[in-house]
Amino acid sequence: MARVAYHGNSVAYGKTTAPVKSKGYLSWLHSLPCIISHVSPVEAAHLSTPNGNYGHFGRAKGRKASDCWALPLTKTLHDKQHKGNELRFWRVHKINPYLAALILHNIYVTQGENGIQQAAMLIQTGVFKNINEEQS
C-alpha cells in the first residue's frame, strides 16, 4: 500500500492509497501510558506530518495516517499535538515521533499482546525522550 510513484530518477509521493488501519493495534496502544506524561488513559495520536526518511509519506485527503504512525497521548497532549506546528510539539518534548512510532509498532507486530509490558516499560523509563535524531 505504498504511496510512492517512481518516475525515472525522481520519486513522487501521492495520497491516493487508503491508510492501513488496525483496530487491534489501536486497542493495544490504548493499553499503554502516554509517551510524554506516562499517565493513562490515552488516545491514539496519529502523526500528520510526512517524513519520507522514515517511510511516512503523508495521509490521504481527509483521512488520518496509517495506524502504524499513531502514538499514545493523553487527550490534552493529543489536542496540543494538532494545534500549531506538530514537529515543534515533538521537539519540545525531545521525542522523535517517527522512531517512537516505528519501535512501538514493531513491538506490537512481533510480540502482540505479550509486548504491552515491554512497551510500557520503555515509555515509563523515558527511553523515547532520549531518541531525538533529526526529524526532517
User: Cell triple for residue 43?
Assistant: 488516545
Q: For residues 46-75, give the mean pLDDT.
A: 86
Q: Are 135 and 97 in contact (CB under 8 A)?
A: yes
User: Cell triple for residue 103?
Assistant: 519501535
pTM above 0.75, yes or no: yes
pLDDT of 9 = 40
Residue 23 CA to residue 130 CA, distance in Å, equals: 29
Residue 68 CA to residue 74 CA, distance in Å, equals: 18
* Higher-scoring residue by pLDDT: 61, 44: 44
Q: For residues 75-88, give the mean pLDDT.
A: 95
Domain limits, the chain: 20-130
pLDDT in tens, 3-45: 444 333 434 445 556 667 889 999 999 999 999 999 999 999 9
* Higher-scoring residue by pLDDT: 132, 121: 121
